[in-house]
């Protein structure tokens, strides 16, 4: 049986995210320094913010993408996905790859996100066409696709939070260096 309440956040994560204004981060264990970043230029001209670590211990080296060791082209969806799921993949993957929220090891979870989207859309379309209730001998019951829709919408939302695709999860993300807009008049607020 689990312990009630929120899961405690690891100290290293607290240090990397920074403390809240109302509380200080208590020192727990050895000091933690942020991970080294690749720093190689990207197609947009900014420095790559992926974690370094493909070199020797003395020189961490570039990230996996800049070594050319990324065997999976993440921008292309797997062939077995239905067309609606592929459309979602093509819509979301470029931004997720650019901001380092989609890596090779994240592909299975991202496939589930796209499939959950597809099944929710399919079940929703079925209910629109057939109605939200079905007639049994004497009674009307809710359509079986309603439960399929509900389950997949819930699964999609949970996975979307993991990839930072909801408004609240995007607010918690740290943006890569250099993304501040110097002309933004709201920045001072």
Cβ–Cβ < 8 Å for 45, 56: no
Neighbours of 81 (CB within 10 A): 16
Determine the pLDDT at residue 82. Answer: 94
Determine the pLDDT at residue 98. Answer: 80
> What is the tens place of the pLDDT at every residue in 30-88?
555 666 666 666 656 566 666 665 554 445 555 655 555 344 578 888 889 999 999 99
Going from N- to C-terminal start, the domains of the chain cover 71-172
Helices (H), 28-82: 64-67
Instruction: Please state at what angle helix 83-98 crosses helix 107-130, rounded to 10 degrees.
Output: 140
State how beta strands 133-135 and 140-142 pair.
Answer: antiparallel
Tell which wins on pLDDT, 145 or 189: 145
Q: List, in order, residues 6 or more apart from 9 with CB less than 8 Å away.
A: none
Neighbours of 8 (CB within 10 A): 8
d(CA 7, CA 160) in angstroms, rounded, equals 20
The DSSP annotation for the chain comes to: -PPSSPPPPPHHHHHHH---TTSPPPP-SS---PPPB---B-TTSSBP-SBP-SS-SS-----HHHHT---S-TTSPPTTS-HHHHHHHHHHHHHHHHTT---GGGHHHHHHHHHHHHHHHHHHHHHHHH-SEEE-SS-EEE-HHHHHHHHHHHHHHHHHHHTT-SHHHHHHSPPPTT---TT-TTTT-
> What is the tens place of the pLDDT at every residue in 87-134?
999 999 988 888 778 888 888 999 999 999 999 999 999 999 999 898
> What is the tens place of the pLDDT at every residue in 132-165?
898 888 888 999 999 999 999 999 999 998 888 8
Mean pLDDT, residues 163-181 taken together: 68
């Amino acid at each position: 049986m689990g312990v009630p309440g929120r899961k405690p956040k690891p100290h290293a994560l607290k240090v990397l995210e920074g403390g809240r204004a109302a509380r200080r981060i208590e020192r727990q264990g050895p000091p933690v320094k942020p991970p080294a970043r690749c720093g190689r230029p990207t197609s947009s001209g900014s420095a790559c913010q992926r974690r370094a670590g493909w070199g020797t211990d003395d020189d961490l080296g570039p990230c996996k993408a800049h070594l050319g060791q990324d065997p999976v082209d993440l921008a292309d969806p797997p062939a077995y996905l239905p067309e609606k799921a592929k459309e979602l993949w093509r819509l979301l993957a470029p931004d997720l790859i650019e901001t380092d929220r989609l890596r090779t090891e994240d592909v299975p979870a991202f496939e589930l996100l796209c499939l959950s989207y597809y099944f929710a859309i399919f079940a929703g379309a079925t209910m629109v066409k057939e109605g939200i209730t079905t007639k049994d001998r004497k009674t009307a019951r809710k359509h079986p696709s309603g439960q399929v829709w509900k389950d997949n919408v819930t699964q999609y939302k949970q996975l979307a939070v993991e990839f930072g695709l909801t408004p609240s999860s995007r607010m918690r993300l740290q943006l890569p260096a250099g993304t501040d807009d110097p002309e933004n008049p709201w920045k001072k607020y």
